[in-house]
Amino acid sequence: MLMLGLFAASPEGGTANPMATVMMMMGFIAIFYFLFFRPQRKQQQEHQKMVQDVKKGDEITTVGGIVGTIVHLTDDRITIKTGDTKIEVERSKIGSVRADGS
């Protein structure tokens, strides 16, 4: 009932209530925040925590699909052993972690 009153034309024959337009815009902003921005921020925070918690001996998969075991860590890079080769990768490019190669 309240919503009908907000969108109804004024008795003078003017347009709809401008407050209704403002409320509708705020509603759209809230919907976008809860459907898009908030889940993306949560996912970024989880990824950041995963990247910070890796340790020597963990088996990882990079974003590019390379699977290897961590042999050396620095602040922004890790060295992984994959097969007979050692590769240096940025920490931010870790896709997933399997702790202790399990």
Domain ranges of the chain: 1-52, 55-102
CA distances from 63 to 60, 67, 70, 76, 98 (A): 10, 10, 15, 16, 14
- pLDDT-based confidence at residue 1 (cuts at 50, 70, 90): very low
pLDDT tens, position by position, 13-62: 556 788 999 999 999 999 989 998 999 999 999 999 999 999 999 999 99
pLDDT at 17: 85
pLDDT tens, position by position, 72-102: 999 999 999 999 999 999 999 999 998 765 5
CB burial readout 76-100, b (16+ within 10 A) else e:
eebbbeeeeeeeebebeebeeeeee
| pTM score, whole prediction | 0.66
Helix (H/G/I), strand (E/B), else coil: 98? strand
What six digits make up the tokens of 77? 């890079």
Domain 55-102 has CATH 2.30.30.100: yes
